[in-house]
Amino acid sequence: MTSPEQSPSELPSGSPNRKYRLLRWVLVIGLLAWLGHGPLIDLLAGHSARRSLAGESLSTEANDLLTRCLEDLPPGPLVDFHAHLAGRGPDSGCWVNPRLLSPLHPRDWVRMRSYLSAAGLGPESPDSAWIEGLAGLARARQRPALHFLLAFDHRYSTQGLRDLEHSEFYVPNEYAHAAAEAYSDVFRCAISVHPYRTDAVQELERWAAQGVRLVKWLPGAQGMDPASPLCDAFYRALVAQDMVLLVHCGEEQAVDAEADQELGNPLRLRRPLEAGVQILVAHCASSGSALDLDVGGAHPPRVDCFDLFLRLMGEKAFEGQLWGEISTVTQVNRYSNALSVLLEREDLHSRLVNGSDWPLPAVNVLYQTRALKSAGFITAEEREILNEIYHHNPLTFDLALKRVVRSPKTGARFAPQIFTCLGPLR
């Protein structure tokens, strides 16, 4: 596991020190990429070894910890609402913007390369390697699990025109659906439909007829504004079809433009909520800040997205309709912001669901168990065992870590039902 020279909890996000370190890191990686050292980048980012796939067994201590993690969960499979798919195509229909695959854009290149190889997609692998790799890990888990595979639509303009140049990547609904059918023991399908498409409602209805109920949006990257009246027909169709929207809120790393970043403002969800849409907020909006639109005026203050998410969760009208999804909250870039509050707010646990944000659990650099130990979320002994589990199966690690972490202040843990909860899809 990576050991930071300084615990991230000591560095307020956005501090000049942190920004400088990030810039330095990007420059070094960019230079390596430029020189053609792709494999070195993989080494620096680090990936889980996945020893479970080689049939290796865990130590007694690790097995004991996993037993404790699983024994008090309610019956039923583990549920993961957030597993990405991606691929380079062309046969699969998947597509990645060539910009993200070019070392001329080092930041994008590093990010995409890191995701692809964490998911098991080498430079020559077919796109199916992603699906097979995830299915293998899912089947190697100690308990049956269902992972929702996320399709990903293009970016569209407000005129309903596809904007290929500014799209990040594309995963067809057909592709996610076919994977879920082929591996129905471990996968379910989540489609992605841009609400500005002229055929958006028909596309929703087409998949609803096939039993799909989850729809994924990433507003900052895909360019939809949840607060726009352009989405109203889409919201009516979601409600009519009893479908659920999984929306990324908070800072989106892939987005530079401030206006696009603002699309991840949790308060923009008031419009679909008031239209009756069931919403899962990805990552509980645990990063970034946004304008406090409730204050209004010409210069509304900036508030942490996580606090805006909590504000919405606190509104009586949205109970039973608004849910939080906890993927990535234990990652190094997020835990200091939201983890202890989420653990301590036990009143919200019945409205939380789990997600892995696959393939991020396989990117070593995002998990710093040493920092979690220093901050009091886990013990030194737990850290050792979790590190072993990490290299056995990153999906098992993601679950075990979330089951083990406790509030340094109160000792509160995540409630067991979060990990088997189907939330609004019950």
Residue 218 C-beta: closest distance to Zn ion, Å: 7
Query: Which residue shows structure tokens 């307020």?
Result: 12
Query: Least distance to Zn ion from the beta carbon of 404, Å?
Result: 23
Q: Which is nearer to Zn ion, 183 or 358 (CB)?
A: 358
Residue located via tokens 């990040």:
168
281 vs 375 by CB, closer to Zn ion: 281
Gyration radius from the chain CA atoms: 20
Residues in the chain: 426
Say if CB 243 and CB 215 are below 8 A apart. Answer: yes
Q: Which stretch binds Zn ion (CB under 5 A): 238-246, 285-293, 352-360, 399-407?
A: 352-360
Q: Using the rule CB under 5 A, is 304 a contact of Zn ion? A: no
* Beta-carbon count within 10 A of 220 CB: 26
Q: Is 382 in the site for Zn ion (CB under 5 A)?
A: no
- Is 254 or 291 the residue whose CB approaches Zn ion more closely? 254
d(CA 247, CA 219): 7
Residue 328 CB, nearest distance to Zn ion (Å)?
8
Give the nearer residue to Zn ion in terms of CB position, either 331 or 396. 331
Minimum CB separation from Zn ion for residue 46, in Å?
19
CB 308 within 8 A of CB 302: no
- Candidate residues 168, 225, 252, 357; the one interacting with Zn ion per rule CB under 5 A: 357
For Zn ion, give the closer residue by CB, 203 or 357: 357
Contact by Cβ (8 Å): 304, 347: no
Q: How many residues bind Zn ion (CB under 5 A)?
A: 1
Q: Smaller CB distance to Zn ion: residue 32 or 218?
A: 218
Q: With respect to Zn ion, which residue has the nearer C-beta, 127 or 357?
A: 357
Q: Is 251 in the site for Zn ion (CB under 5 A)?
A: no
Site string for Zn ion, 45-74 (x = CB under 5 A): ------------------------------
Least distance (Å) between residue 84 CB and Zn ion: 6
Establish if 252 lies at the interface with Zn ion (CB under 5 A).
no
Pick the closer one to Zn ion by CB: 357 or 382. Answer: 357
Shortest reach from residue 120's CB to Zn ion, in Å: 17
The region of 117-125, 172-180, 257-265, 356-364 touching Zn ion under the rule CB under 5 A is: 356-364
Q: Which residues bind Zn ion (CB under 5 A)?
A: 357
